[in-house]
Amino acid sequence: MKNLKQIIHYLNSHKHKIVDCWISESNVVRLFDKFKIESVFFKNNYGFSILDYFINAISDERKIGDCPNVKQFIFFLVSSNIKAHEIFAICINLRKN
């Protein structure tokens, strides 16, 4: 449990760096360019809240699947005509960071 608390503390302390690294990944940059998604818009409207959701899910403060912002994010991507494999590529890059 101590390890989990340390991880959660680290994630909370480094949110800006994590989100910045996420949106700087070459695949994400390429897809954002392709679909004309502004990285600052993404970061402020989706990036931080998605990261907060994952932090809250691993700390048992939120149920997995209970994140309206993730649903809005997916809707935004789908409405931008982004294909499923491209959505997956954007999402998986968060995990890498």
pLDDT tens, position by position, 35-90 = 999 999 999 999 998 899 888 888 876 666 666 777 888 888 888 888 889 888 88
Please report, for residues 27, 36, 51, the alpha-carbon distance to residue 85 in angstroms, rounded to integers and kept in the order given.
12, 17, 20
Please report, for residues 3, 16, 64, the alpha-carbon distance to residue 86 in angstroms, rounded to integers and kept in the order given.
33, 23, 22
Pick from 30, 19, 25: which is nearest to 73 by CA?
Answer: 19
Whole-model pTM above 0.85?
Answer: no
Residue 59 structure tokens: 């700390």
Query: What backbone phi and psi angles, to 5 degrees, belong to 75?
Result: -60, -45
Pick from 36, 22, 15, 20: which is nearest to 80 by CA?
Answer: 36
